[in-house]
């Protein structure tokens, strides 16, 4: 393992409320999750990212907190949380939590106090304007669900700013007290034993909002400050940020102009996400080749977090209109599958027609790309979505554990469940569940276990450098390599439907008894690299050489 654990981690994200319910009240809880840690350890996960755990009225699935120093009582107690950290650590699993401090819930006592009077000590913790700002209808994150970014509050007799929903007033990061409080919140959870934070909405946290100015200045120095603070409190803590911005802005989030990585350790690669979807839709690797060529160079210690699906829509806003329409045509043909004029609210398996070969190909591609892979719960068994649920809830249904009622998620009456279990069709829990797959090596779950184990034997992917192998290949094929001090891995993925042969003989001089370490089927002895066979929608991960001293 390299110096930085996060470079070689496998991150798994989940919502406690839809994972496992231990007390039968219909809501998943911390004790339920503790009971599933062995499952996660067997899968090979090394880090859990928990979606918001704080008390919340849950109008945005917990991304609207009312107390940053506690856990939602529906999930358990702080004691249960400390126990979770201990039990996870026993299994070599770290835990990071969502830090959602761009805004609070409007029910948070800070906002309640702030709105009550201009003299409230919390008044200046939020962003106010006495007059209606000119940019009232600009900068909405949830078009269709959100009307404005400035709303009038009758109690406060003033306008308040909310980048997201109206019930999520933005905290005022120009106020030193707010900055100090956020650091205190981070310290609190680090002290309890979390290994870091998935930082929500970072570009908006550093925004110094000026009424009427839709392009308010950004204070990147605050990221440097937060990093300093976190690192002093816990040396190996990591910051993983959501910053879905233009590619040329990304380096500034990793570090300042000196070139040192003194800000965020890891950023989600939203650009790659869109390109992966485009490449899969077109069955053409071109967008991925572009990604390998033009990804900004990162400072030492900077790392991408790759993903295919997360808890939000697939955001295609960084693709051109034509590209976006190609992805829609393949993966979101119905209006009901799309959201916010920019994305798709579906899980991967149904988008790929539940075609096992294409699902494996997609995940083999993601996990072989530079960066730390993030996997969303349920994807490892090929769960589907429920498009009858509103908005992003479609992809937030309970984990499907078994054939038991409610998929083994909960013993509560179905109408008491936090969200309905998918119980119909190909993706119903009767067809897709952990019990059915865990004893079956050929299952998707069995494949994920094997693939993740293979990844852990190939630290070059996380810690090394990944490049496109620029040789003539048949259409549909991507050849890339990962090089690190531990050796070299070569990957051949065939996005197309035809069986092909790829000439990689130019790698022969570097090869040292190359072998397949993961492939969609048994291809027999690899032999010479001049004619590497790959089936349609197939893939081969080849260990080219290992460092001899290793």
- Enumerate the active-site residues: 200, 242
**Burial class of residue 185 in the structure, from the number of CB atoms within 10 Å of its CB (0-12 exposed, 13-18 middle, 19+ buried):** middle
Residue 354 contacts residue 426 (beta carbons within 8 Å): yes
For ligand GLC, the closer of residues 312 and 460 by Cβ is: 312
For ligand GLC, the closer of residues 274 and 408 by Cβ is: 274
Among 200, 283, 360, 379, binds ligand GLC (CB under 6 A): 200
For ligand GLC, the closer of residues 164 and 367 by Cβ is: 164
Is 401 a binding residue for ligand GLC by CB under 6 A? The answer is no
Q: How far is the CB of 164 from ligand GLC (least distance, A)?
A: 4
Residue 537 contacts residue 361 (beta carbons within 8 Å): yes
Residue 253 φ then ψ, to 5°: -75, -30
Is 100 a binding residue for ligand GLC by CB under 6 A? The answer is yes
Q: Which helix (H) or strand (E) holds 462?
A: helix 460-463
Q: How far is the CB of 245 from ligand GLC (least distance, A)?
A: 13
The closest residue (CB) to ligand GLC is 63
For ligand GLC, the closer of residues 63 and 539 by Cβ is: 63
Kindly give the interhelix angle for 444-456 and 356-368, rounded to the nearest 10 degrees: 20
Q: How far is the CB of 274 from ligand GLC (least distance, A)?
A: 16
Cβ count within 10 A of residue 390: 10
Residue 494 contacts residue 484 (beta carbons within 8 Å): no
Q: How far is the CB of 105 from ligand GLC (least distance, A)?
A: 10
Among 17, 21, 60, 135, binds ligand GLC (CB under 6 A): 60
- Distance of alpha carbon 28 from alpha carbon 12, whole angstroms: 17
Q: How far is the CB of 392 from ligand GLC (least distance, A)?
A: 7
- Distance of alpha carbon 70 from alpha carbon 63, whole angstroms: 14
* Total interface residues for ligand GLC by CB under 6 A: 9
Is 164 a binding residue for ligand GLC by CB under 6 A? The answer is yes
Q: How far is the CB of 292 from ligand GLC (least distance, A)?
A: 26
Please provide the size of the chain in residues: 550
Is 395 a binding residue for ligand GLC by CB under 6 A? The answer is no
For ligand GLC, the closer of residues 164 and 377 by Cβ is: 164
422 secondary structure, DSSP code: P
Kindly give the interhelix angle for 321-331 and 270-282, rounded to the nearest 10 degrees: 60
- Residues 213-272 binding ligand GLC (CB under 6 A) are 242
For ligand GLC, the closer of residues 160 and 164 by Cβ is: 164
Q: DSSP per residue over 369-385, as a string?
A: SSSEEEEETTGGGT---
Which residues bind to ligand GLC, rule: CB under 6 A? 60, 63, 100, 164, 200-201, 242, 311-312
């Amino acid at each position: 393992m390299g110096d930085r654990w996060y470079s070689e981690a496998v991150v798994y994200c989940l919502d406690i409320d839809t994972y496992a319910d231990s007390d039968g009240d219909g809501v998943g809880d911390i004790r339920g999750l503790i009971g599933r840690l062995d499952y996660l350890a067997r899968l090979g996960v090394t880090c859990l990212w928990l979606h918001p755990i704080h008390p919340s009225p849950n109008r945005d699935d917990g991304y609207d907190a009312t107390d940053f120093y506690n856990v939602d009582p529906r999930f358990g107690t702080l004691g249960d949380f400390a126990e979770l950290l201990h039990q996870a650590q026993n299994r070599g699993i770290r835990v990071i939590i969502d830090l959602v401090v761009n805004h609070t819930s409007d029910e948070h006592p800070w906002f309640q106090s702030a709105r009550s009077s201009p003299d409230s000590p919390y008044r200046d913790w939020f962003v106010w304007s006495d007059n209606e700002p000119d940019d009232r209808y600009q900068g909405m994150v949830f078009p269709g669900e959100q009307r404005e970014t400035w709303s009038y509050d009758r109690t406060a007799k003033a306008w308040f700013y909310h980048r997201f929903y109206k019930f999520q007033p933005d905290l005022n990061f120009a106020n030193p007290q707010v900055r100090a409080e956020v650091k205190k919140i981070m310290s609190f959870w680090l002290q309890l034993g979390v290994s870091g934070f998935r930082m929500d909405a970072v570009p908006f946290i550093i925004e110094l909002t000026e009424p009427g100015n839709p392009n308010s200045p950004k204070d990147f120095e605050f990221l440097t400050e937060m990093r300093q603070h976190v690192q002093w409190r816990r040396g190996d803590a990591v910051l993983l940020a959501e910053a879905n911005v233009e590619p040329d802005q990304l380096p500034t989030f990793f570090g300042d102009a000196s070139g040192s990585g003194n800000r965020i350790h890891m950023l989600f690669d939203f650009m790659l996400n869109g390109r992966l979807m485009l490449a899969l839709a077109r069955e053409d690797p071109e967008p991925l080749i572009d990604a390998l060529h033009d990804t900004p160079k990162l400072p030492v210690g900077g790392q991408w977090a790759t993903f295919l699906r997360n808890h939000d829509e697939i955001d295609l806003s960084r693709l051109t209109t034509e590209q976006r329409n190609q992805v829609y045509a393949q993966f979101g043909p119905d209006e009901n599958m799309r959201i916010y004029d920019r994305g798709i609210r579906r899980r991967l398996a149904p988008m790929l027609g539940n075609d096992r070969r294409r699902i494996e190909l997609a995940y083999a591609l993601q996990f072989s790309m530079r960066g730390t892979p993030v996997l969303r719960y349920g994807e490892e068994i090929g769960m589907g979505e429920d498009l009858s649920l509103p908005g992003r809830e479609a992809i937030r249904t309970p984990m499907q554990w078994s054939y038991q009622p409610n998929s083994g998620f909960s013993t509560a009456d179905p109408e008491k469940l936090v969200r309905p279990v998918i119980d119909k069709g190909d993706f119903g829990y009767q067809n897709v569940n952990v019990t059915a797959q865990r004893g079956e090596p050929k299952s998707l779950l069995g494949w994920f276990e094997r693939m993740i184990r293979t990844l852990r034997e190939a630290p070059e992917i996380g810690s090394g450098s990944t490049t496109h192998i620029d040789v003539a290949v048949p259409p549909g094929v991507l050849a890339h390599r990962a090089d690190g001090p531990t050796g070299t891995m070569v990957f051949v993925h065939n996005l197309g439907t035809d069986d092909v042969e790829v000439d990689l003989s130019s790698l022969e001089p570097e090869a040292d008894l190359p072998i397949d370490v993961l492939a969609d089927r048994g291809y027999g002895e690899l032999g010479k690299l001049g004619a590497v066979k790959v089936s349609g929608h197939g893939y081969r991960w080849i260990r080219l050489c290992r460092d001899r001293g290793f």
